[in-house]
């Protein structure tokens, strides 16, 4: 039982790390695209970034709830705040936060099985 809990916690932490990285990457890309200071274009590996995006979208599309998919997509890939998403979906911010936590747990469960 203890080993299962430990494995579960490891998967949960990894999903949170992935979500944080996705959010951070989106902010970096947004800053890079909106920045007009540099003359050099930012060159990245198109293949690996497109593969990552496809994998992330497959994971999000595998979520059982359309509301949950929308919330995760907008918060982590479109870099919106919980408040902005709540206004768009006519929900409370607490409701969006609850959906977000529920969907992250679901992603963790899907990855562990």
The model's pTM is: 0.55
pLDDT above 60 for 77: yes
Over the stretch 32-76, which tens digit does the pLDDT of each residue have? 666 544 444 444 444 556 666 777 778 888 888 889 999 988 888
28 burial class (0-12, 13-18, 19+ CB within 10 angstroms)?
exposed
Q: Residue ranges of the domains in the chain?
A: 2-37+44-112
**Residue 85, number of CB atoms within 10 A of its CB:** 23
């Amino acid at each position: 039982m203890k080993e299962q809990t430990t494995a579960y916690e490891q998967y949960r932490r990894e999903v949170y790390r992935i979500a944080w990285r996705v959010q951070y990457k989106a902010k970096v890309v947004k800053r890079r695209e909106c920045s007009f200071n540099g003359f050099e274009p930012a060159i990245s590996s198109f293949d690996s970034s497109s593969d990552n995006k496809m994998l992330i979208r497959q994971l999000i599309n595998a979520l059982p709830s359309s509301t949950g998919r929308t919330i995760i997509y907008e918060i982590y890939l479109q870099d919106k705040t919980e408040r902005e998403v709540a206004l768009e979906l006519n929900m409370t911010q607490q409701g969006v936060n609850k959906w977000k936590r529920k969907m992250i747990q679901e992603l963790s469960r899907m990855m562990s099985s």
